[in-house]
Amino acid sequence: MAIPFLSEEPAGPRPRRWSLAVSGIAVVAFIAVLALAWMAASTLLLVFAGILLGVFLDGLTRLLGKVLPGSRGLRLSLVSLVLAGLTLALIAFGGATIVQQGRDLGQTVASQAGTVRDRLKDYGIDVPKIAPDKGGENKGGENKSGENKGGDSKDSESKAVAPGGGDAKSGGGGDSGPQRNDDSVASGQKSGGLAGLASGAMKSPGSLLSDAGSVLGPAATVVIGLFSALGNALVIIFLGLSVAADPGAYRDGLVRFVPPAHRDRATALLDGMGETLRHWLFGQLITMAVIFVCTWAGLAFLGIGGALILGLQAGLLAFIPTIGPLIAGVVILLASLASGTTALLGALGVYLAVQTLESYGLTPFIQKQALDIPPATIFAGQLVLGVIFGLWGIALALPLMAVAKVLLAQLYIEDTLHEEAEG
């Protein structure tokens, strides 16, 4: 009789010989997926923003279906045309006012921020400037010009002591020609913008972009930023329309990657995430609209300049909980500081009243059923996602946490712990 712990073969069920290899491959594949997700985080978050737009358009299409029966494509087209028309109308009729108020508001906030910084400096608190200091570039240019002047003086001295009694023009030898060419190229780059750019490209094609940036100046940064924002907006709109056109096809396509025994549960999980995001989006849009109207009306009643743009930025920043209202409040207070102490106190009262309405009225009433997450959890999630993914992580923190809550509630609490998930 063989003793189990002394026998050559271990007791109990024996694992398959390929299980270790399969486990190693699975671990490597999981790490590779995480690495790819980390490197493409901004692209994945951009795709998630497009999915959010698709969920919103799908919700509007469903609501329109209760009033106007017809094909889904027709209802989606009507919704898209109405939204596009409202956007164009806002740009056409309110765009000039928003741009003008935004320009005035930027100057007011910058000047008042300098006033606050000087006041804090009187109390021994040194706060750095918010605007980038361009003096370093000018100083660098002066240093370079000083070096050039020094170089010219050295050249003149060398000309004076040149052997043979000649100067650089007559007795300098073979270096005079290239030196004059270099001087002409340098002067062309300094005086003629496009000519200098062309000559720089002929000398060194790799410096073409840097020369273009130096010629165009801040305009190049603005144009690149506009094209980047426009490209991101087009990607989000395209993905949103594609998802809203046939959401069932994308859901079924994802479900096909799940084993057949779990496809029903995967379908219910995806439907639950879509419903949660849809309810949260509609509630968030209502909250943003109320904050915009109340802030605009309150600041306009107080006679504070730029009330429209201040209300608009407060409503838009309400999309980002906790951090967004704080930024909106700072901008409102800085803008109202130029109108005096009375206006400052009035703007502070308007801001606190709107935040009280949002925190104790709108959010508990509208968002309670859609997404019930404690404020500290939301703030902690924003901090973590902001550190990892930057601005995208902060802006999309709440919908990402909504998706995570649905996953934890259905896969862990219900399926693993066999308990009923709250809410």
Residue range 33-88, pLDDT digits in tens: 888 878 888 888 999 999 999 999 999 999 998 888 888 889 999 999 999 998 88
pLDDT confidence band for 102 (50 / 70 / 90):
low
Q: By mean pLDDT, which of 47-51, 352-356, 394-398, 416-420 is the weakest?
A: 416-420
Answer whether residue 295 is part of any domain. Answer: yes
Q: List, for residues 185-195, the tens digit of each pLDDT value.
A: 444 444 444 44
Asked whether residue 203 is domain-assigned, the answer is no
Confidence at 220, pLDDT banded by 50, 70, 90: low
pLDDT (tens digit, 9 = 90+) per residue, 108-150? 677 767 777 777 777 777 666 654 444 444 444 444 444 444 4
Query: What letter represents residue 10's amino acid?
Result: P
Over residues 248-260, the mean pLDDT reads: 91
Residue 154 domain flag: no
Percent with pLDDT over 90 in the chain: 20
Q: In this structure, is residue 309 part of a structural domain?
A: yes
Give domain status of residue 146, yes or no: no
Q: 167 in a domain, yes or no?
A: no
- Global pTM value: 0.66
Count: domains in the chain = 1
Question: What does the pLDDT look like over 17-44, one tens digit per residue?
Answer: 556 777 788 888 888 888 887 888 888 8
Specify the pLDDT at position 80: 93
Q: Report which of residues 134 and 311 the model is more confident about.
A: 311
The alpha carbon of 315 is separated from its chain's Cα centroid by a whole number of angstroms, namely 17
pLDDT score recorded for residue 156: 42
CA-wise closest residue to 291 among 325, 335, 263, 323:
325
Averaged pLDDT, 407-423 = 81
pLDDT category, 331, cuts 50, 70, 90?
Answer: confident
| Structural domain range at position 375 | 36-121+221-414
Write down the pLDDT at residue 141.
42
Instruction: Identify the pLDDT of residue 292.
Output: 93
Between 365 and 183, where is the model more confident?
A: 365
Q: Give domain status of residue 382, yes or no.
A: yes
The answer to whether residues 168 and 179 touch, using CB atoms and an 8 Å cutoff, is yes
Rounded distance, CA 216 to CA 4, Å?
Answer: 82
Question: What are the φ and ψ backbone dihedral angles of 67, each rounded to 5 degrees?
Answer: -105, -40
The C-alpha angle with vertex 239 and arms to 238 and 241, in degrees rounded to 5, equals 65
* Residue 113 CB neighbours (<10 A): 17
In a domain, 379, yes or no: yes
Average pLDDT rounded to a whole number, residues 336-358: 88
